[in-house]
């Protein structure tokens, strides 16, 4: 059957590609990475404040205390979005800005910031897309046990209700969690993300309670939002490939697919944990922290699935002596892959970004085709895709970044082809709107379409921003 998207998407002879007229073009950010104002208007520390202020955790000792100062430069940034013709802006709410202890009533000054942001977006004709959680857990909740504890999921649902009550009359599109894999396995497994713990069982417990938190929050949103509101979750689905065609490498793919992907898609989209995941991790835990009814709670209807993609993952079978340090997620003596000690990770071939990640749009195409086959009735939105390069402003004050244009062009071509081949992809959000605090890399990696001079805060749209603005305006992806 030919879908409406296929009828309106077309490929011109010279590789120019036209996207569906309803396709949503946007850009994305995260609260801790851009807002700054770390101790203003009642905001208290998040786990990332604590982590970044711990010596040796973040490159150069950088923190998000100021970041790009979006908290004070909000109107300037919204004007930039309007200038670039964005149809949507995906931002995250800072939980410790709204509910500083993770409990109790909301702080109105914190909510007022987001109220003003949403009002300004709507005035400019930009659709606000709100993410409830992009990794900044209130430190008080971590002190009480963090995501490995069930109570954190319950607190998250209460916070979701507060946010929906305040913004639900103006925000129609909501995301519960951003990349819970990173929260669970980098935060509690390898320790390269906040809160920096290195306990494989805690990582698995955290994954489960994030699944539960998603479901409870989705219900809280549905209870408060209008009937036409959209509820989603964003996952960094790993596109996992075998190094060779051996049976052992195929099993390595299966193991990592379970830990990276199906640990979340199973409960959230099917209401069950995959049996092979439980078997692979049986020596670590009996999963008794999963209570009756949890999977039913986690399995909530979604309006679309957010997909974040940057690069593929290549794995092979090993004797257990290899390490996980080529998995692209940062170096640690501790693995983020519990129960996968006999899996080795390999650098994919080809050109790389400043993060050392392989540039491979075919991985995005393959991933979208897989998701379309596995979940045929669930629309997809690319909620993050982009690249870091070593950008700089030239003497004329211009920032030319042809490598980023090539990266985005290639990945948009992959999205377009996936639509033609049957994937129901509804939109694309470029990561990121602004150069910003890039987690453990500090300010050393620039993902933005807009260059930020950190000492002054000056914003300079890069060549890629102008290029992307034209694609968003016309819906046409030009050839190389």
Give the tokens for residue 396. 């004329």
CB distance 272 to 296 below 8 Å: no
Per-residue DSSP letters for 19-80?
Answer: --TT-EEEEE--HHHH---TTSTT---BHHHHHHTSTTSSGGG--SSSTT-HHHHHHHHHHH
Distant-in-sequence, close-in-space partners of 53: CB < 8 Å, separation ≥ 6: 63
Say if CB 79 and CB 449 are below 8 A apart. Answer: no
Which residue from 306, 448, 431 is spatially nearest to 367, judged by alpha carbons?
A: 306
Distances (CA, A) of 212 to 163, 196, 208, 272: 18, 22, 6, 12
Q: Would you call 275 a catalytic residue per the annotation?
A: no
Say which of 179, 247, 275, 283 is annotated catalytic.
Answer: 179
For residue 360, give Cα distances in angstroms to 206, 286, 350, 353.
31, 38, 8, 11
35, 142, 149, 384: the active-site residue: 384
Torsion sign across C-alpha atoms 118, 168, 207, 378: negative
- Tell me which residue of 37, 57, 59 sits closest to 47, measured CA to CA: 57
> Residue 126, SS3?
coil
Where do we find the tokens 């340090």? 325
Q: Which ranges in 84-127 belong to alpha helices (H)?
A: 95-98, 108-123
Annotated catalytic residue 317: no
Residues forming the active site: 179, 384
């Amino acid at each position: 059957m030919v879908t409406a998207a296929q009828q309106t998407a077309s490929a011109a002879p010279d590789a120019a590609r036209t996207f569906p007229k309803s396709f949503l073009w946007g850009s994305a950010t995260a609260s801790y990475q851009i807002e700054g104002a770390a101790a203003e208007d009642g905001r208290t520390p998040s786990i990332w404040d604590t982590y970044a202020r711990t010596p040796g955790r973040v490159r150069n000792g950088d923190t998000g205390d100021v970041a790009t100062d979006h908290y004070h430069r909000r109107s300037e940034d919204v004007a930039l979005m309007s200038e670039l013709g964005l149809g949507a802006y995906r931002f995250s709410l800072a939980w410790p800005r709204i509910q500083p202890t993770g409990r109790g009533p909301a702080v109105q000054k914190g909510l007022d910031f987001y109220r003003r942001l949403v009002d300004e977006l709507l005035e400019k004709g930009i659709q606000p897309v709100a993410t409830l959680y992009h990794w900044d857990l209130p430190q008080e909740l971590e002190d009480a046990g963090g995501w490995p504890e069930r109570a954190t999921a319950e607190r998250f649902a209460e916070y979701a209700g507060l946010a929906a009550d305040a913004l639900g009359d103006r925000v129609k599109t909501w995301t519960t969690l951003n990349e819970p894999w990173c929260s669970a396995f980098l935060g509690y497994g390898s320790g390269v993300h906040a809160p920096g713990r290195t306990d494989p069982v805690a990582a698995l417990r955290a994954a489960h309670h994030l699944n539960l938190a998603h479901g409870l929050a989705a219900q809280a949103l549905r209870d408060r939002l209008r009937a036409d509101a959209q509820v989603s979750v964003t996952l960094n689905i790993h596109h996992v490939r075998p190094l060779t065609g051996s049976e052992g490498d195929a099993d390595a793919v299966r193991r990592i697919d379970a830990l990276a992907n199906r640990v979340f898609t199973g409960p959230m989209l099917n209401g069950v944990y995959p049996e092979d995941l439980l078997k692979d991790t049986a020596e670590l835990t009996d999963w008794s922290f999963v209570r009756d009814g949890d999977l039913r709670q986690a399995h909530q209807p979604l309006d679309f699935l957010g997909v974040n993609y940057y690069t593929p993952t290549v794995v092979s079978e090993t004797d257990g002596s290899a390490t996980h340090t080529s998995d692209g997620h940062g170096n640690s003596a501790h693995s983020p892959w519990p129960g996968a000690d006999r899996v080795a990770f390999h650098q994919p071939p080809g050109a790389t970004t400043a993060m050392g990640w392989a540039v491979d749009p075919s991985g995005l195409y393959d991933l979208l085709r897989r998701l379309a086959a596995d979940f045929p009735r669930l629309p997809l939105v690319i909620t993050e895709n982009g690249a870091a390069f070593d950008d700089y402003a030239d003497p004329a004050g211009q920032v030319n970044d042809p490598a980023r244009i090539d990266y985005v062009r290639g990945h948009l071509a992959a999205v377009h082809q996936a639509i033609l081949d049957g994937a129901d992809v509804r939109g694309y959000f470029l990561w990121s709107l602004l150069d910003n605090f890039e987690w453990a890399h500090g300010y050393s990696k620039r993902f933005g379409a807009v260059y930020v001079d950190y000492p002054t805060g000056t914003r300079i749209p890069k060549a890629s921003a102008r290029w992307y603005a034209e694609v968003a305006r016309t819906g046409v992806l030009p050839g190389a």
